């Protein structure tokens, strides 16, 4: 998948879980494909957000509704660097998982939302 499609996917995934309150974005398993990443880029991004701890100590990011672009940036970086990444809505109703094996899952406790998201991806 080219980088433009990955950024678009990041925007869509974040839109499925982001709310006006908070969203949890968790980066995981970032060492599987070291040749596909440049960790200093992500470290500097986190520092610009005020996060000085290394990713190994603080892999989770709580994103508020006004910081949606930060969530998209984290998810896009995870896709570009081929990292595992989880996104979970504030209520826990909706979630996604991106694998370093380059597949993605979306789940919702609301069947109508799960069906709507599935139909959006089936149409592509």
Question: What does the alpha-carbon distance between residue 35 and residue 24 come to, in Å, rounded to a whole number?
Answer: 27
Question: What does the alpha-carbon distance between residue 70 and residue 34 come to, in Å, rounded to a whole number?
Answer: 23
Q: pLDDT tens digits for 36-66?
A: 889 999 999 999 999 999 999 999 999 988 8
pTM more than 0.75: yes
Tokens coding 124:
């592509």
| Core vs surface per residue 44-65: b (16+ CB within 10 A) or e | eebeeeeeeeebeeebebebee
How far does the chain reach from its first CA to its final CA, in angstroms?
13
Q: pLDDT tens digits for 74-108?
A: 999 999 999 999 999 999 999 999 999 989 999 99
């Amino acid at each position: 998948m080219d980088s433009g499609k990955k950024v678009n996917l990041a925007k869509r995934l974040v839109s499925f879980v982001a709310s006006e309150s908070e969203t949890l974005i968790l980066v995981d398993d970032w060492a599987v494909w070291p040749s596909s990443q440049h960790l200093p880029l992500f470290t500097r991004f986190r520092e610009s957000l005020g996060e000085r701890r290394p990713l190994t100590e603080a892999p989770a990011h709580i994103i508020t509704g006004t910081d949606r672009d930060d969530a998209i940036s984290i998810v896009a970086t995870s896709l570009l660097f081929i990292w595992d990444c989880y996104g979970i809505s504030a209520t826990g109703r909706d979630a996604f998982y991106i694998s370093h094996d380059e597949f993605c899952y979306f789940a919702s406790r609301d069947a109508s939302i799960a069906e709507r998201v599935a139909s959006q991806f089936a149409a592509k």
